[in-house]
Amino acid sequence: MIDAELDQRPSAMRKAEAAFARRRVASIVASAVALLTSAALPDRSEADVVVRRGEPRPLVCRIEQQGTDRLIVRVTDPDGSSRRVEIPTDEILLVVPAFDPAALERLEPGRWEGYREGAEEAASRRVDPEATALAIRLQLIVAYHGDATARAGAFAALFDLARSADEERRFRALAFRILPDADPALLVAPRPTAPAPLTDADRDLLMITVRLLRDDRGDEALTLIRRDDFPEIYSRVASILPLQQLERYASEVRPSRGRRDDLLRLELGLLGTYALSGSPSAAGGAPPARRRSEAVWSRPLAEPSPPWVDVDWTDVTEFDPRDCLFRDGAWRRP
């Protein structure tokens, strides 16, 4: 089934993406079985993840104590304050512990399979933005240093891990440059099934959320993002910016790299959906001529498109893959 869905991809990438998908499923299943039967978890400073029965989103937290009947965790809120939460054991579906920093120090340059395995373990906790960033760093190291087979597999994983549509385009552009005999089809991300169109109320909700974030009013934006219906509504524009990244921006104390550009791209994409629908809500009731003009320049932002910039190993992300040795809490070159 996986191979059939990827039969339009270049041969090497098709095999790599299928293998990556199988490894990812196996890794998640194995982790679930092992972790659900674990009697105790060591204390860690990094984020743990708990999936509760009946809750639509995993809980990012730090496990403080685990007993036979309940789990005690500490949750850090967007304002920086923390609180203890007790979760009955029968409400827990899955516990994914934080990645142990000591495991990074055990990674040895030249043994790239260990880096790949570490990346897949980190990727199983993708609800935690730091875990996603670590997975990307490790896969980028494998792509840079590994052989042809490892490189193709790492790029397939990077496409899946990308934190935004723009980052995925950059990964695809780099893969096209680096992989031998790469097919131009590699530059274009597979298009998902077309979602249902946004209603005027949905557009207004999303636009308000984005503009709150641009005004550095993250707490108010989070109130909207945490509405039960928000994930389903947002899924229709998630090709512009993943919901996980939007939540991350809303929780930031200081704006991170790329935040302004990502939010502007999302806002312009939303303006394009207003224009195409003819909704009078756009831009405070823009006249039809203006809405038609917006449709011309903003509609492409709401759809996946091929990369238009050249990238290299050192600027495709904030990580330098030459820094592949982790010692004393920092990445450095061997």
The per-residue pLDDT for 159 is 92
Mean pLDDT of 28-57: 53
The per-residue pLDDT for 266 is 85
Q: What pTM value is reported for the model?
A: 0.53
Average pLDDT score over the chain:
76
Over 50: is that where the pLDDT of 9 sits?
no
Cβ-Cβ contacts under 8 Å for 36 (sequence gap 6 or more): 92, 93, 94, 95
The per-residue pLDDT for 144 is 96
Q: Which of 9-23, 33-47, 115-129, 202-216 has the least mean pLDDT?
A: 33-47
Which two tokens mark 156? 């397939």
CA dist list (Å): 1 to 5, 7, 12, 298? 6, 10, 17, 36
The per-residue pLDDT for 195 is 57
